[in-house]
């Protein structure tokens, strides 16, 4: 569905994934500094494209991210078991 970002990416990384929500569907993206998504969790919902660029600079760290597709009938795919990751190292 998606892939890890390159190591050492800039502080406003872009992540992308396969467009699976269909016409009228949306995505919810979450990223955090731990794999259980309990530390520094950010949730971006209502995304209409299969790409997202972080708007505000992130601190140097490893971030974990996951995305959920929601179709036009509000059926959610659920988040993947294994999150993706990227590292900010500026």
| CA distance linking residue 85 with residue 32, whole number of Å | 9
Name every residue whose Cβ is closer than 8 Å to that of residue 75 and which is 6 or more positions away in sequence: none
**Residue 6 has what pLDDT?**
52
pLDDT of 90 reads 79
List CB contacts of 62: < 8 A, sequence separation 6 or more: 33, 85, 86, 87, 88
Name, in order, each residue with C-beta under 8 angstroms of 35's C-beta and a sequence gap of 6 or more.
Answer: 64, 83
pTM: 0.89
Residue located via tokens 């992130």: 58
Q: What is the pLDDT along the chain (90 residues), one digit of tens a residue?
A: 465 655 556 899 999 999 999 999 999 999 999 999 999 999 999 999 999 999 999 999 999 999 999 999 999 999 999 999 999 987
Q: Decide: 65 and 15 in contact? Cβ < 8 Å.
A: yes
**What is residue 89's predicted lDDT score, i.e. its pLDDT?**
87
């Amino acid at each position: 569905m998606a892939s890890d970002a390159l190591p050492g990416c800039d502080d406003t990384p872009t992540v992308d994934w396969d467009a699976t929500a269909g016409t009228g569907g949306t995505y919810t993206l979450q990223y955090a500094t731990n794999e259980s998504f309990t530390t520094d969790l950010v949730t971006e919902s209502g995304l209409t494209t299969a790409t997202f660029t972080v708007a505000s600079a992130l601190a140097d760290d490893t971030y974990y991210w996951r995305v959920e597709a929601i179709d036009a009938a509000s059926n959610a795919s659920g988040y993947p078991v294994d999150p993706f990751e990227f590292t900010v190292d500026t």
